[in-house]
Amino acid sequence: MLNVPKATDKSFAEGKILQSVSEGVGVITFNNPAKRNAMSLDMWEGLGHALVELRDDPDVRVVIMVGAGDKAFVSGADISQFEKTRHNAEASEEYSRRSAAQRALLADYPKPTIACIRGFCLGGGMQVAMLADIRIAAENSQFGIPAAKLGIAYGYDGLKHLVSLVGPSWARLLMYTGMRIGSAEAVRIGLVDRVLPDAELWGATTEIARTISGNAPLAIQAAKITIAQVLNDPDKRDMNAIKAIGVACMDSEDFREGRRAFMEKRKPRFTGH
C-alpha cells in the first residue's frame, strides 16, 4: 500500500479532495478510489480550493499531489458524467471553462508542486501530473491519453505540456494510438523524472518535498519563474520578472542567512524574506 498521510486538515468536493499540512509540506489527495480517482467537475473545483488555501498559507513551501489507495493517481475524467457534461461541443466547452481556472492556477502556481504517481495516470490525470513541477512515479504506474479512443480533442494546453516533456514524435505516438506505457518507458522519454519501487515512493517523495521546504523560498521562486520564462517563446519572455526576483533574492535576509550558515558550518534557517 502507498503510505499516504492519515491526517486531514480539510476536505472539499464531499470528501473527494483532501488537504493536509505537515512540516512545511502541503498534501492534496485525490480521494475517489471507487472510480480510481477519476476527476469530476466537483473535484476539479475542490482541487482549486485546496490549491488556493495552500498557496495562501505562509507555512506551506511545497505541495504534493497524490491519489488515494494503490490503484491510481488520477485515472482520467469521470466518463460517467460525460452524457450530462460533455455530450457535445457546447457542453464540452462549458466543462473546459469550468475546469480551466483550476488548470491555470496549477500552471502558474507560485510554490513548487510534486505529482506522486502510483497506478493509473491517464487522460485528465496526465494533465494534472504534467502541470506539476516534478513527477515521481512508482514502478507499477501506467500512463496514457485515451482521447482518440473516446473521440475527444485533448486541447492545446495539455498537448503543449506533453510536447515540451516528450517531444512531438512521442506526443504523436501517444495521442494517435491512445496506448499506455509503463514507468520505465515514461522515465526514458522524459514524461516522469524518477521511478521508485512502490514501497519507497511516498517516503522518497516526502524527503524531496522536505528538502525543498528547507531551502530558500525566494531562490526556488527565482528558479521557477526563470524556467517558466525559458519555456516561453523569445518574444513573450518577461525578462523584467526575472530581474525583479533576482534582485529580491540578492537583497533578502535569506541570502545573508545562507552566507552566515555556510561560514558557521550550520544548517540555514530560511524565512522567505
DSSP letter (8 states) at residue 269:
-
**Residue reference for cell 457546447:** 90
**Domain residue ranges of the chain, discontinuous segments joined by +:** 10-213, 216-263
CB atoms within 10 A of CB 78: 21
**95 near 50, Cβ under 8 Å?**
no
Residue 242 and residue 249 in contact, taking contact as beta carbons nearer than 8 Å: no
- Rounded CA separation 88/53 (Å): 34
* Rounded CA separation 139/186 (Å): 10
Bridge partners of residue 88, in order along the sequence = none
* CA angle centred on 269, ends 265 and 273, rounded to 5°: 130
pLDDT over 80 (residue 117): yes
Percentage with pLDDT > 90 across the chain: 79
Question: In this structure, how many other beta carbons lie within 10 angstroms of the beta carbon of residue 246?
Answer: 15
CATH topology for 10-213 is 2-enoyl-CoA Hydratase; Chain A, domain 1 (3.90.226)
Quick: pLDDT tens for 22-49.
999 999 999 999 999 999 889 999 999 9
CA angle 50, 55, 56 (to 5 degrees): 105
Cell matching residue 85: 457534461
pLDDT tier at 155, thresholds 50, 70, 90: confident
Other Cβ atoms closer than 10 A to 12: 20
Cα 112 to Cα 127: distance, rounded to the nearest angstrom: 17
- The three cell numbers of residue 70 are 494503490
User: Does residue 92 surpass a pLDDT of 80?
Assistant: no
Mean pLDDT of 188-204: 97
Identity at 18, one-letter amino acid code: L
Q: What is the pTM of this model?
A: 0.91
3-state secondary structure of 179: coil
Strands lying side by side in the sheet with 134-138: 10-12, 17-22, 25-30, 62-67, 113-117, 134-138, 194-196
Q: Cβ of 43: how many Cβ atoms within 10 Å? A: 26
